[in-house]
Amino acid sequence: MVVVLVGTGVFVYLRLRADLNDSIDNTLRARWAAAAEMLGRSGSIDGFPLEDAEESFVQVLDQNGQVLDLAGLAQGRVLTLAAVEAARSSSNWSERSVAGIDGTVRILARAPTTGSQGVLVVGQSLGNRDEALADLLASFAVGGPAAVLVASLVGYWLASAGLAPVESMRRTAAAISWGAGGQRLPLPAARDEIRRLGETINEMIARLDRSYERERRFVADASHELRTPIAVMKTELEAAIQNGGYTAEVGESLRAAIEEGDALAQLAEDLLVLALDSENGLALAKTPIGMRAILETVRMRFVNRAAQQGRSIVIAVDGDSEIVVDPLRVQQALGNLVDNALRHGSATITLAGVVESDRVVLEVSDEGPGFPVELAGREFERFSRGAEARNRGGAGLGLAIVKAVAQAHGGDVEVMAATPATVRISIPR
């Protein structure tokens, strides 16, 4: 807009100056013709009518530049001898200061008749022209910035109005999450490219929603359906072990099959929990319970397994504060952390808990090598496992379930120390 206004201003200024110059030149030609006619008729220009004697004049000069006759307030001769000589053969235009006349003067000099030795000179002050041009520049200096400001405000308003649907779509897109219940981008009323873009994106989101829903239902259904046959298989294997009558190799195979059945049952349970969390969030059955009771239940669940590894599980709790949580879900989350510590950690496992003014903090730590570097920042993503962990069993869902349980309680989970591993669950009190 600034470039356009400057260009327009320059054009108007030059155009006006050219028009004013043409007007002054035409006035001088008419004045010269009237003076030449008067001089030829009466031999003198005495009494020649001038609009303003302070801004215009008429002189008759001889071949030596001496003033022979005069109309107006111009003082002395206004042309040099060279200019007089040039004017005797053709019209001579010039601009100079003249004593007795305001401002710069535009002058037309020419011989009054063919072969005349003298020169008839007419002049007009350029003061009015210069004043008009100065007023124009002042108007541009004041009006130009104002015009730019107004144009900028109007342009900003128009751009904001035009992009408002885009911003609304952007905010909605940023808030959309999978399984959020069919959210779609708002569409503008205008049937333009932005609306067509929004319709296309909404169709894409609908396809993704359907795909996500199919995947979620498949995981939930598969997890649910697997629980019964896995339980039956485990029961049959345990019955076979109790009945005896098999070789040592067969017994080892039966025990290995039971362990794999336990892993499958845990995987099915984990998938079902995550599917429920994705659908409507985990359903919680909160009840008041002592913190030490929760930690002791988790410890007793894994104490024999830890003893088989020559390790111990200790509880670090001051007192036995009562908290309001879903005991089964919290025990499940803590159990997953202890299971990870038994699989990947070493030495003593510590279950710690403290009740602060506004939250409940539960921690599980061990003295092992901690989380691998490649898992930094994505420890709680589903199916995230380090290279070494892939050889130790597990599906990489344990920490994802810990996060789901914490968030279902309105809290969160974080890795407080990567080496050795310390994981903290924080729940609003």
Domains in the chain, please, with CATH?
A: 2-132 (3.30.450.20), 196-278 (1.10.287.130), 282-428 (3.30.565.10)
The rounded distance, in Å, linking the Cα atoms of 426 and 402 is 11
Give pLDDT, residue 278: 58
Mean pLDDT of 258-287: 70
Closest CA to 79 of 123, 126, 25: 123
Mean pLDDT of 412-417: 81
For the four alpha carbons of 218, 219, 220 and 225, in that order, the dihedral sign comes to: positive
| DSSP structural state of residue 322 | E
pTM, whole model, 2 decimals?
0.46
Mean pLDDT of 394-406: 77
User: How does pLDDT run across 197-220, given as a tens digit for each residue?
Assistant: 888 988 888 888 888 777 777 766
Tell whether the model's pLDDT for residue 3 goes beyond 70.
yes
Show Cβ contacts of residue 281 under 8 Å, excluding neighbours closer than 6 positions.
Answer: 408
Tell whether the model's pLDDT for residue 179 goes beyond 80.
no
pLDDT grade, residue 373 (50/70/90)? low
Q: Give me the amino acid identity at 314.
A: V
Tell whether the model's pLDDT for residue 248 goes beyond 50.
yes
- Pick the range with the lowest mean pLDDT from 281-290, 299-308, 346-355: 281-290
pLDDT grade, residue 247 (50/70/90)? confident
User: In this structure, are residues 223 and 268 in contact, taking their beta carbons and an 8 Å threshold?
Assistant: yes
Mean pLDDT of 28-46: 91
- Most confident among 110-114, 132-136, 335-339 (mean pLDDT): 132-136
**Burial letters 378-398, b for 16+ CB under 10 A, else e:** ebbebebbbeebeeeebebbb
The rounded distance, in Å, linking the Cα atoms of 233 and 257 is 9
Per-chain mean pLDDT for the chain: 83
Give pLDDT, residue 169: 86
pLDDT grade, residue 108 (50/70/90)? very high
